Structure 1
Amino acid sequence: MKATKNDFESALNKKISCLIGAVLMIGGAQPAGAATIANYYQIVDLGTLGGEASWASSINDNGQIVGYAADTTGQQRVFLYENGAIKDIGIQGGLGIFINNKGRIAGNVYGDNGGGATVIVNNFIYENGKTTLLNVFNSNVKGLNNNDDIITDIIATDGSGKDRATLIRNGVTTNLGTLMGGDRAEVAGINDKGQIVGWSATTSMENPHGAFIYANGVMASLNFSGGVYVDVRDINNSGDIIGAIQYENGSDAAFIYNDSVLNLFN
């Protein structure tokens, strides 16, 4: 039986978790003379905003952390953690919160849809105590770089699933397009060079779920030969792209891709 896209995404999460775990182990190697890993790392409870739980989403090179946490009423609020303290920045939030090295925060504003459900109602930028609403509606923030470029998915409201990969730069919203006549695309990551990666539906029977890189105003396919589904997750400033690929026979693997070289991790 041929694997479905949901099967692939489930396997993808496991593969990517293992790949990221391997990278973290490499990056967290003990310094010379360290007795144990426990002596090198410290786990810090960031606390909550008076509620029972909190979730960290993003951290910058200055150690500032953003995420969302429940307040005393149970509502989820966007928080900033710095200098050992957690604070509510005044926005109802949830998934999709990022902070860059300038300390600027971008993310989704959540609210009631009028029927009792909590949904994304706007996007925001927060800096130095001031919140600016972007007013790009039906938009899910997926990333922020150190040049304040924001990537989002514009969510189709007609139930078609035809979402659009989007870049917000200097207040201008740009539709990145699709690959090979496809009708939908989503972003996954952006680096400080402005290179964006994501996936796009295509009209190709061989590769209906293709990976793309967008740079200098052009979307290009990553052309992973034989991949039925390719799902990229992020790109760093060196151009390393991570993700996972599924082949026609149902096998899948996490990968790192750079300069036309694909390294698989089964």
Structure 2
Amino acid sequence: MLRMPIAVVLFGIAGVASSAQQLHPPGLGERGNEASIAVDINAAGQVAGIIEEESGRQRAVLWNKRLIELGTLGGSDSFTKGINIGGDVVGSAQDSDGHWRAFVYRAGLSMRDLGTLGGGSSYGMGISRSGQAVGFADTSDGYFHAFTTGPTGDGPLVDLGTLGGNISYAAGVNTDGVIVGTAALVDGYRRAFIYRPGAGMKDLGTLGGRSSSATAVNDSGVVVGASETPDRHWHAFVHDGKKMVDLGALIGYGNSFATAINAAGHVVGSIRVGDERRSFVYRDGKMTVHPGGYGLYLVNSINAEELVIGAKYVGKKFEASTMHSAQRAVVTHGGNDMVMLIVAVLAATTGIVIYRRRYRGIVLEGANRIIRFKFPQN
């Protein structure tokens, strides 16, 4: 089973039969006991995904009317993180030394290693329409910093710096080269950031707590993610460029995390209530919560055509699938009050990013996944 243990269920209809729109025969073309997850989808319906073998090996794949294996950079494993309208895929793959390296894959070309910021590893997290890739990479002093490539994905990696601390992570980028992610302050707490070309990195603040994390930005510059509140809960947020708005307060319970936003400002995310996982969509001024047991088990992205992608959980394993965002469930709040708060509303993700060097690896903890990457011992 793919090692993403946080359950996310999305877009079910309580009391009404509901089924996810399948990509094709279910999954991404995996065989036997292999599992699959759809990671991102573009407007053309091309899907970046992951297939995991029974042994645990993960393979980066692209579904474009057929399964395309993207390979690795000489190592055993790889995974995807994003796809743009042109079908360019960003992700990470192991090289022959076992290091993880950020890559970009373009149709007809081999996987390209994006390099690092002076250290041994890097991770690709987002890609724009023009091919600009973002992510995070080791620096020569052993810390991760957010990076960007050039506007078309070429040239050496550019270090975006931090908010005064040692680490930062880029999670998404829009058409204008606006980048969002998470960066450490001097005191070590993480904050959601927005980086605009020529203006540098800006702290987006919190909902009253100590930390926050940005997961995605759309072409209107609307940012989504999650923030700690004064009572130490986590709430999904949307930042319209002026202020951070608490989407979790509209839900009214649990810890919530916004994971994706499309061009129309429609938001998807998840809610944790004890051991139960629910999901939500903010669409056309309404917050809709979907109870467990309906629709998708994992939700990763929503495209301009309103297709939501992720995975169902079938036979004790994940199976890539899609569904439409217009499916309804329990409407918890009306639209007019929220529309008054924001002009346009909502992210690999990627969620809250935590660096744990004592484990010789990193943990990416988000609303819909926890992924652990192991570093080679040097």
TM-score by length of 2: 0.55
Per-residue deviation at 1:24? 11
Uncovered stretches (5+) of structure 1, i.e. residues with no partner: 1-8, 31-36
Looking at structure 2, the residues matched to 94 and 158 of structure 1 have their Cα atoms a distance apart, in angstroms, of 25
Match of 1:169 in 2: 196
The one-letter amino acid paired with 1:43 is L
Check conservation: 2:251, 2:287, Cα contact below 8 A: no
Distance 1:151 1:122, change over 3 A: closer
Is 1:53 the counterpart of 2:77? The answer is: yes
- Cα displacement (A) at 1:122: 4.8
Q: Does 1:200 align with 2:227?
A: yes
Question: What pairs up with 1:213-228 in 2 under 5 angstroms?
Answer: 213-222=238-247, 223-228=249-254
What is the CA distance between 1:151 and its match in structure 2? 0.2
Partner residue, 2:8: 15
The within-5 A match list for 1:27-66 is: 28=23, 41-66=65-90
Query: Could you tell me whether the CA contact under 8 Å between 1:68 and 1:93 is conserved in 2?
Result: no
The higher radius of gyration belongs to: 1
Distance 1:134 1:110 in 2: 10
- Per-residue CA deviations over 1:22-42 (Å, capped at 9, x if unaligned) read x99537469xxxxxx97x841
| Moved >6 Å (runs of 4+) | none
Matches of 2:195 and 2:128 in 1, distance apart?
15
Q: Which among 147, 151, 155 is matched to residue 130 of structure 1?
A: 155
Q: In structure 1, what residue type is equivalent to 2:216? A: G
Size of the alignment, in residue pairs? 236
- Confirm or deny that 1:230 pairs with 2:256: yes
Tell me, yes or no, if structure 1 residue 146 matches structure 2 residue 175.
yes
Q: Aligned partners of 2:277, 2:7: CA distance in 1, in Å? A: 11
> Please, which runs of 5 or more residues in structure 2 have no aligned partner?
13-17, 30-63, 292-378
- Give the superposition deviation at 1:228: 3.0
Write the deviation string for residues 134-191 of structure 1: whole angstroms up to 9, x where unpaired.
34131111111122110011135655xx211100011321111112x32221112211
Q: Contact (CA 8 Å) 1:110, 1:122: kept in 2 or not?
A: no
CA contact (8 A) 2:92 2:124 kept: no
Matched, 1:260 2:285: yes
Q: Aligned residue for 1:108?
A: 136
The offset of 1:46, in angstroms, is 0.7
Deviation at 1:255?
Answer: 1.1
Give the superposition deviation at 1:101: 0.9
Q: Percent identity?
A: 26
Q: What letter corresponds to residue 239 of structure 1 in structure 2?
A: G
Paired with 1:142 and 1:48, the residues of 2 have a C-alpha distance of: 22
In the TM superposition, what is the alpha-carbon distance from 1:19 to its structure 2 partner? 5.6
Moved more, 119-128 or 207-216: 119-128
Classify the secondary structure of the residue corresponding to 2:8.
Answer: helix
Q: What TM-score, normalized by structure 1, do the two folds share? A: 0.76
Asked whether 1:178 is paired with 2:206, we answer yes
Supply the distance in 1 between the matched residues of 2:24 and 2:78 (Cα, whole angstroms): 28
Q: The residue matched to 2:149 in structure 1 has which SS? A: strand
Tell me the amino acid that sits aligned with residue 241 of structure 1: V
Residue of 256, 263, 268 corresponding to 1:242: 268
Structure 1 position 193, deviation (Å): 0.9
Distance in 2, matches of 1:152 and 1:201, equals: 15
Q: Is the 8 A contact 1:57 1:97 kept in 2?
A: yes
In structure 1, what is the Cα distance between the partners aligned to 2:19 and 2:87? Answer: 17
1:70 corresponds in structure 2 to 94
Q: 1:102 to 1:71 in 2, by over 3 A?
A: same
> Could you say what secondary structure the match of 1:26 adopts?
coil
RMSD: 3.1
- Structure 1 residues 183 and 253, CA gap change in structure 2 (3 angstroms): same
